[in-house]
Amino acid sequence: MAFFLAIILISLGTALFFVGTVGLLRLPDFYTRLHAIGKCDTLGLILLMLGLMVYEGFSLNAVKLLMIVVLIMIANPTATHALARAAIKAKLQPWQKEGSVQ
């Protein structure tokens, strides 16, 4: 049963990485790309690590993976926020549809 749960978590994590990659390639500007990759990368990696933890069972390796998950939960959103803030300070304008009025 744990093996199947691990496969499901790892598959979901991999799928989120794929969705984030598609978002990175298809979305029009820096801010939307940053949003897509920030969300999908963080959640995908957390699910992938949780799947590896379930597969490994309760051991020292699982505790190390849990510490990596906690670090990722702190570092990825912080880095995404810092990148977006730097883009705002550099006056990078968001994408606007042709002919739209603002």
Answer whether residue 98 is part of any domain: no
- CA 2, CA 27: separation in Å to the nearest integer? 37
Residue 82 in any domain: the answer is: yes
Residue 79 above 80 pLDDT?
yes
- What pLDDT sits at residue 94? 84
pLDDT at 92 over 70: yes
Radius of gyration of the chain (CA): 17
Residue 72 burial by CB count (10 A; 0-12/13-18/19+): exposed, middle or buried? Answer: middle
Write down the pLDDT at residue 93. 87
Residue 99, domain member (yes or no) = no
- pLDDT of the residue at 100: 64
The answer to whether position 94 is within a domain reads: no
Token duo for residue 84: 């977006």
Range of the domain at 76: 2-89
Output the pLDDT for position 88.
Answer: 93
The pTM of this model reads 0.83
**Which pLDDT tens digit goes with each residue over 18-36?**
999 999 999 999 999 999 9
Q: Do 36 and 24 contact (CB within 8 A), yes or no?
A: yes
